[in-house]
Protein backbone atom coordinates (compact mmCIF):
# COMPACT_ATOMS: atom_id res chain seq x y z
CA UNK A 1 0.00 0.00 0.00
CA UNK A 2 1.38 3.39 -1.02
CA UNK A 3 1.49 6.19 1.54
CA UNK A 4 -0.41 9.44 0.86
CA UNK A 5 1.93 12.42 0.75
CA UNK A 6 0.61 15.94 0.33
CA UNK A 7 3.05 18.56 -0.96
CA UNK A 8 1.75 22.14 -0.85
CA UNK A 9 3.47 24.25 -3.48
CA UNK A 10 5.19 27.19 -1.85
CA UNK A 11 4.81 29.07 -5.12
CA UNK A 12 1.33 29.97 -3.83
CA UNK A 13 2.58 30.94 -0.40
CA UNK A 14 3.74 34.31 0.95
CA UNK A 15 7.37 34.72 -0.14
CA UNK A 16 7.95 37.32 2.55
CA UNK A 17 7.50 34.67 5.26
CA UNK A 18 8.56 31.41 3.62
CA UNK A 19 9.77 29.76 6.82
CA UNK A 20 6.47 30.49 8.55
CA UNK A 21 4.53 29.25 5.55
CA UNK A 22 6.48 25.97 5.61
CA UNK A 23 5.78 25.48 9.30
CA UNK A 24 2.11 26.36 8.84
CA UNK A 25 1.71 23.71 6.15
CA UNK A 26 3.52 21.06 8.21
CA UNK A 27 1.33 21.89 11.21
CA UNK A 28 -1.74 21.45 8.99
CA UNK A 29 -0.66 17.96 7.93
CA UNK A 30 1.58 18.45 4.90
CA UNK A 31 4.16 15.72 4.31
CA UNK A 32 6.39 17.55 1.83
CA UNK A 33 6.94 21.18 0.88
CA UNK A 34 7.06 21.50 -2.89
CA UNK A 35 9.60 24.01 -4.20
CA UNK A 36 9.05 25.11 -7.80
CA UNK A 37 12.39 26.05 -9.36
CA UNK A 38 12.04 27.76 -12.75
CA UNK A 39 14.84 29.27 -14.81
CA UNK A 40 13.04 31.44 -17.37
CA UNK A 41 14.46 29.20 -20.12
CA UNK A 42 13.06 25.66 -19.84
CA UNK A 43 9.84 27.36 -18.77
CA UNK A 44 8.94 31.04 -19.26
CA UNK A 45 8.61 31.89 -15.59
CA UNK A 46 11.45 32.69 -13.17
CA UNK A 47 11.20 31.75 -9.49
CA UNK A 48 13.67 30.56 -6.85
CA UNK A 49 17.02 28.82 -6.76
CA UNK A 50 19.40 27.07 -4.37
CA UNK A 51 20.08 30.23 -2.28
CA UNK A 52 16.44 30.30 -1.17
CA UNK A 53 16.58 26.60 -0.23
CA UNK A 54 19.78 27.26 1.70
CA UNK A 55 18.21 30.18 3.57
CA UNK A 56 15.09 28.18 4.36
CA UNK A 57 16.81 24.98 5.48
CA UNK A 58 17.89 26.10 8.99
CA UNK A 59 14.32 27.18 9.76
CA UNK A 60 12.44 24.01 8.87
CA UNK A 61 12.78 20.26 9.20
CA UNK A 62 10.22 19.79 6.44
CA UNK A 63 11.01 17.50 3.50
CA UNK A 64 11.91 19.90 0.70
CA UNK A 65 10.61 18.45 -2.55
CA UNK A 66 12.47 20.46 -5.20
CA UNK A 67 11.06 20.36 -8.73
CA UNK A 68 13.59 21.76 -11.19
CA UNK A 69 11.92 23.12 -14.30
CA UNK A 70 15.29 24.14 -15.70
CA UNK A 71 17.52 23.50 -18.68
CA UNK A 72 20.69 21.50 -18.00
CA UNK A 73 19.68 20.37 -14.49
CA UNK A 74 23.08 18.68 -14.08
CA UNK A 75 24.70 22.02 -13.33
CA UNK A 76 22.53 22.56 -10.23
CA UNK A 77 22.76 19.22 -8.44
CA UNK A 78 25.69 20.10 -6.17
CA UNK A 79 24.22 23.49 -5.28
CA UNK A 80 20.89 21.98 -4.23
CA UNK A 81 22.58 19.20 -2.27
CA UNK A 82 24.67 21.73 -0.36
CA UNK A 83 21.59 23.91 0.17
CA UNK A 84 19.76 21.05 1.91
CA UNK A 85 17.25 19.82 -0.68
CA UNK A 86 15.75 16.42 0.14
CA UNK A 87 14.38 15.55 -3.31
CA UNK A 88 15.82 16.68 -6.64
CA UNK A 89 13.28 16.14 -9.41
CA UNK A 90 14.44 16.95 -12.93
CA UNK A 91 12.64 16.89 -16.25
CA UNK A 92 13.28 14.01 -18.63
CA UNK A 93 13.02 16.53 -21.47
CA UNK A 94 15.81 18.70 -20.04
CA UNK A 95 18.74 16.28 -20.05
CA UNK A 96 20.52 13.98 -22.49
CA UNK A 97 21.68 11.50 -19.84
CA UNK A 98 19.06 10.81 -17.20
CA UNK A 99 20.87 7.81 -15.70
CA UNK A 100 24.07 9.77 -15.09
CA UNK A 101 22.07 12.56 -13.50
CA UNK A 102 20.15 10.15 -11.25
CA UNK A 103 23.43 8.62 -10.12
CA UNK A 104 24.85 12.05 -9.29
CA UNK A 105 21.75 13.03 -7.31
CA UNK A 106 21.95 9.85 -5.23
CA UNK A 107 25.70 10.17 -4.68
CA UNK A 108 25.11 13.61 -3.17
CA UNK A 109 22.58 12.23 -0.69
CA UNK A 110 19.30 13.37 -2.21
CA UNK A 111 16.36 11.37 -3.45
CA UNK A 112 15.91 11.48 -7.22
CA UNK A 113 12.70 12.19 -9.07
CA UNK A 114 12.01 12.32 -12.79
CA UNK A 115 9.26 14.49 -14.27
CA UNK A 116 7.47 14.43 -17.62
CA UNK A 117 5.44 17.12 -19.35
CA UNK A 118 1.85 16.45 -20.47
CA UNK A 119 2.88 15.69 -24.07
CA UNK A 120 5.73 13.33 -23.15
CA UNK A 121 4.66 9.66 -23.40
CA UNK A 122 5.15 7.61 -20.26
CA UNK A 123 6.93 4.92 -22.29
CA UNK A 124 9.86 7.30 -22.63
CA UNK A 125 10.74 6.96 -18.95
CA UNK A 126 9.75 3.37 -18.19
CA UNK A 127 13.36 2.08 -18.40
CA UNK A 128 14.40 4.74 -15.87
CA UNK A 129 11.70 4.27 -13.24
CA UNK A 130 13.48 1.52 -11.29
CA UNK A 131 16.39 3.92 -10.76
CA UNK A 132 14.43 6.80 -9.21
CA UNK A 133 12.58 7.37 -5.96
CA UNK A 134 9.61 9.16 -7.52
CA UNK A 135 8.00 9.94 -10.86
CA UNK A 136 6.23 13.27 -11.36
CA UNK A 137 3.48 13.34 -13.97
CA UNK A 138 2.71 16.95 -14.83
CA UNK A 139 -1.00 17.63 -15.17
CA UNK A 140 -0.50 21.13 -16.58
CA UNK A 141 2.18 22.61 -18.80
CA UNK A 142 5.02 23.50 -16.40
CA UNK A 143 5.79 27.12 -15.74
CA UNK A 144 2.84 28.80 -14.05
CA UNK A 145 0.42 28.14 -11.21
CA UNK A 146 -3.35 28.28 -11.46
CA UNK A 147 -3.77 26.23 -14.65
CA UNK A 148 -6.59 23.73 -15.28
CA UNK A 149 -6.01 20.07 -14.41
CA UNK A 150 -5.45 17.89 -17.50
CA UNK A 151 -7.34 14.66 -16.83
CA UNK A 152 -6.03 13.11 -20.04
CA UNK A 153 -2.68 12.67 -18.27
CA UNK A 154 -4.17 10.12 -15.86
CA UNK A 155 -3.57 7.05 -18.08
CA UNK A 156 0.16 7.66 -17.57
CA UNK A 157 -0.35 7.40 -13.83
CA UNK A 158 -2.37 4.21 -14.24
CA UNK A 159 0.35 2.66 -16.41
CA UNK A 160 3.02 3.51 -13.85
CA UNK A 161 0.99 2.22 -10.91
CA UNK A 162 0.30 -1.12 -12.62
CA UNK A 163 3.97 -1.59 -13.43
CA UNK A 164 5.35 -0.27 -10.14
CA UNK A 165 2.86 -0.93 -7.29
CA UNK A 166 5.03 0.64 -4.57
CA UNK A 167 6.34 3.65 -6.52
CA UNK A 168 5.79 7.20 -5.30
CA UNK A 169 3.84 8.81 -8.15
CA UNK A 170 3.44 12.56 -7.89
CA UNK A 171 0.96 14.69 -9.83
CA UNK A 172 1.31 18.44 -10.13
CA UNK A 173 -0.98 20.96 -11.73
CA UNK A 174 -4.54 22.10 -11.08
CA UNK A 175 -5.24 19.58 -8.29
CA UNK A 176 -8.21 20.46 -6.10
CA UNK A 177 -11.20 18.87 -4.39
CA UNK A 178 -13.06 18.45 -7.69
CA UNK A 179 -10.44 16.20 -9.28
CA UNK A 180 -8.43 14.61 -6.46
CA UNK A 181 -10.47 11.41 -6.79
CA UNK A 182 -9.48 11.10 -10.46
CA UNK A 183 -5.81 11.36 -9.55
CA UNK A 184 -6.11 8.98 -6.61
CA UNK A 185 -8.08 6.40 -8.57
CA UNK A 186 -5.44 6.47 -11.30
CA UNK A 187 -2.81 5.66 -8.69
CA UNK A 188 -1.21 8.95 -7.66
CA UNK A 189 -0.15 9.11 -4.01
CA UNK A 190 1.94 12.32 -3.89
CA UNK A 191 -0.22 15.38 -4.50
CA UNK A 192 1.17 18.80 -5.28
CA UNK A 193 -1.27 21.67 -4.88
CA UNK A 194 -0.74 25.39 -4.57
CA UNK A 195 -3.80 27.54 -5.06
CA UNK A 196 -6.30 24.97 -3.79
CA UNK A 197 -4.45 24.66 -0.48
CA UNK A 198 -3.00 28.09 0.21
CA UNK A 199 -6.06 30.03 -0.94
CA UNK A 200 -8.59 27.75 0.78
CA UNK A 201 -10.56 29.05 3.80
CA UNK A 202 -9.33 25.96 5.67
CA UNK A 203 -6.10 24.59 4.11
CA UNK A 204 -5.89 21.81 6.69
CA UNK A 205 -9.26 20.45 5.62
CA UNK A 206 -8.11 20.33 1.99
CA UNK A 207 -4.94 18.45 2.95
CA UNK A 208 -6.98 15.99 5.01
CA UNK A 209 -9.46 15.48 2.14
CA UNK A 210 -6.62 14.77 -0.31
CA UNK A 211 -5.19 12.15 2.05
CA UNK A 212 -8.57 10.54 2.60
CA UNK A 213 -9.14 10.24 -1.14
CA UNK A 214 -5.82 8.46 -1.65
CA UNK A 215 -6.42 6.15 1.29
CA UNK A 216 -9.94 5.31 0.11
CA UNK A 217 -8.84 4.57 -3.45
CA UNK A 218 -5.94 2.43 -2.23
CA UNK A 219 -8.17 0.31 -0.04
CA UNK A 220 -10.88 -0.18 -2.66
Percentage above 90 pLDDT, the chain:
93
Binding residues: 9, 34, 36, 67, 143-146, 172, 174, 194-195
Is residue 76 within 8 Å of 50, Cβ to Cβ? Answer: yes
Q: Active-site residue numbers? A: 36, 172
- What predicted TM-score, i.e. pTM, was given to this entire model? 0.96
Confidence at 208, pLDDT banded by 50, 70, 90: very high
Confidence at 147, pLDDT banded by 50, 70, 90: confident
**pLDDT tens column, 50-81:** 999 999 999 999 999 999 999 999 999 999 99
Is residue 47 within 8 Å of 11, Cβ to Cβ? Answer: yes
Helix, strand, coil percentages (3-state) for the chain, rounded to 5, are 45, 20, 35
What are the start-end ranges of the H helices in 74-141? Answer: 77-83, 98-107
Question: Rounded CA gap, 7 and 4, in Å?
Answer: 10
Predicted confidence (pLDDT) at residue 145 exceeds the cutoff of 80: no
Predicted confidence (pLDDT) at residue 146 exceeds the cutoff of 80: no
Among 173, 199, 56, CA closest to 118: 173
Confidence at 1, pLDDT banded by 50, 70, 90: confident
CA within 13 Å, CB half, 105: 26
| Domains of the chain (ranges, CATH numbers) | 5-219 (3.20.20.70)
Question: Rounded CA gap, 187 and 181, in Å?
Answer: 10
Bridge partner list, 37: 68
Residue range 128-137: average pLDDT? 98
Binding residues for a divalent metal cation: 34, 36, 67, 172
What are the start-end ranges of the H helices in the chain? Answer: 18-27, 50-56, 77-83, 98-107, 154-163, 180-186, 195-198, 203-219
Q: What is the pLDDT of residue 143?
A: 79
**pLDDT tens column, 81-125:** 999 999 999 999 999 999 999 999 999 999 999 999 999 999 999
Binding residues for substrate: 9, 67, 143-146, 174, 194-195
Predicted confidence (pLDDT) at residue 26 exceeds the cutoff of 70: yes
Mean pLDDT for the chain? 96
Predicted confidence (pLDDT) at residue 220 exceeds the cutoff of 80: no
Amino acid sequence: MVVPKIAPSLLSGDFAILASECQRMVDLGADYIHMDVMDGHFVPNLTIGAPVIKSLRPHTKAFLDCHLMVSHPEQWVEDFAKAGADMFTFHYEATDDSLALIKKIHELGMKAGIAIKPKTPVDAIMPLVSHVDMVLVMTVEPGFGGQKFMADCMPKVTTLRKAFPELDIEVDGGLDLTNIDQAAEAGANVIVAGTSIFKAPSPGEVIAAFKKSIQTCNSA
